[in-house]
Structure 1
Amino acid sequence: MSWCQTRAEKKPLLSRKNIRDRLIFCKRYRDWTAEDWGKVIFSDESPFRLFGASGKKLLRRRQGERYHQSCVMPTVKHPETIHVWGCFSAKGVGSLTILPKYTAMNKECYQHILREQLLPNIQEQFGDKQCLFQHDGAPCHKAKVITKWLGEQNIDILGSWPGNSPDLNPIMNLWSILKRRVDKQKPTNSDKLQALIMQEWAAISDPEVN
């Protein structure tokens, strides 16, 4: 076996509670079938940055080409960033919305997104059939007013979601696909970045989702 020196991969730092909660979650759902998971709508927020900063850039280079123009990824100190909220299920990609600039996600903003984006998506993909909604434990997600509102809409929640566990959410794979597509087209301003985000999200096909 040959060895090479490389950078360590990044992953969330898990506390003992995180580890315990993840194990509980996995044991609770380990017997679920593809049909069971097909009833879940997954959701998340994600940032997109200009100048290819959203994802990693993989390349091959020869010795002495480390700083060659074709082998670097330009960065800026404070890149323009667009935050989005999206959801999807086994039936395909769902809603995607651009979050207001310079506005922190709070319970009022989140409830507006759920009302304007999630409800139509549930109706389109599931109709009158029952489904489960997944969101993580962010404070605005777990606010009492949000829990009450979801209950009033008869939306059941996929429970026991462990903290600090973005890797358990399959929407992370969609974010990765979307960021690669957007970065590849090298948007030069926030308007182009926003347009590409929406365009490429709509172009993601069912095989990529499944």
Structure 2
Amino acid sequence: MADRVSKGKILINQMKSKSGFLRFFSDEKIFTIDASHNRRNDRWICLDADEVKPFMKTKNPASNMVLAVISTEGDVMPPYFFQKKETVNKEVYKRVLEEVVVPWMDDVADGRPYTFQQDSAPTHRAKIVLDFLALKTPNFWPPSFWPANSPDLNPCDYYLWGKVEGLACKKYHTSVETLKQSIIKTMKELDPQEVSRACISFRRRVDSVVKNGGSHYE
């Protein structure tokens, strides 16, 4: 809790001092070919429980790890799919930042200053990754800024992934390729204003965490 409060205060100060900056948020998620199922939100209207269709899950469904980046202006980077069985180590992650993420952010920003957020995963904290980001995106938020275990503060976690999974994974996919195409289509068709609102609400969430002693935002 103390970590979330102290780092939340750092983030608030950063946003105050760089209020005009464009902000990018990033995250990774593993998608499977199985249809998504939300026990809390999925509802059936029927007269008998037997009318509810069974929800089937495969034992070891094929999957793919996806990297996403979104911005406070509603920009959505085309999803990056890591290679099958690829170990996402510090070298691989740095290469993706160098060849895909940073060029895309630079193009979107078009000369304007921006900040870049990533969580505190070990790969993200690697020296070669931090050195690269310090050189290419000097206003990125280092691990000392980001509270650990805080999916409630990352727009990719509290908005993007649920939205994409709910639309792209309504049905079982016969292959990883059809899954990927569905994710690409879904992310391309996201409403920029909705994405922007989700990212902008980040500030309100951080304020709430600090005000409530580090409690998770609900």
Matched residue, 2:88: 105
Matched residue, 1:14: none
Question: Any conservation in 2 of the 1:95–1:117 contact (CA below 8 Å)?
Answer: no
Matched residue, 1:188: 174
Residues 36-60 of structure 1: per-residue CA shift (max 9 Å, x gap): 386211000011112214x515012
1:124 alignment partner, SS class: helix
Percent sequence identity is 25
CA distance in 1, matches of 2:103, 2:138: 13
Gaps of 5+ in 1: 1-18
Gaps of 5+ in 2: 197-218
1:45 alignment partner, SS class: strand
CA distance in 1, matches of 2:21, 2:38: 30
Question: Any conservation in 2 of the 1:45–1:84 contact (CA below 8 Å)?
Answer: yes
RMSD between aligned alpha carbons? 2.1
1:119 equivalent to 2:105? Answer no
Instruction: Give the alignment's TM-score, normalised by structure 1.
Output: 0.80
Question: Any conservation in 1 of the 2:21–2:112 contact (CA below 8 Å)?
Answer: no
Instruction: Give the alignment's TM-score, normalised by structure 2.
Output: 0.78
Q: Which has the higher contact order (CA 8 A, sep 6+)?
A: 2
1:11-160 map, 5 Å: 19-30=1-12, 32=15, 36=19, 39-53=22-36, 55-56=37-38, 58-62=42-46, 64-65=48-49, 68=51, 70-91=52-73, 92-159=75-142, 160=145
Deviation at 1:63, TM superposition (A): 6.3
Q: 1:205 aligns with which of 185, 191, 198?
A: 191
Question: Any conservation in 1 of the 2:72–2:195 contact (CA below 8 Å)?
Answer: yes
Distance 1:180 1:190, change over 3 A: same
Distance 1:168 1:115, change over 3 A: same
Residues 149-171 of structure 1: per-residue CA shift (max 9 Å, x gap): 11221432224101111121011
Question: Any conservation in 2 of the 1:39–1:131 contact (CA below 8 Å)?
Answer: yes
**Structure 1 stretches (4+) deviating beyond 6 angstroms?**
none
Q: Which has the higher helix share?
A: 2
Deviation at 1:84, TM superposition (A): 0.4
Distance 1:38 1:200, change over 3 A: farther
Matched residue, 1:16: none
Residues 119-156 of structure 1: per-residue CA shift (max 9 Å, x gap): 22222211221111100111110101111111221432
Matched residue, 1:178: 164
Deviation at 1:62, TM superposition (A): 4.2
CA distance in 1, matches of 2:20, 2:48: 49
CA distance in 1, matches of 2:182, 2:31: 11
Residues 73-122 of structure 1: per-residue CA shift (max 9 Å, x gap): 21111111111001010121124200111122101110111012212222
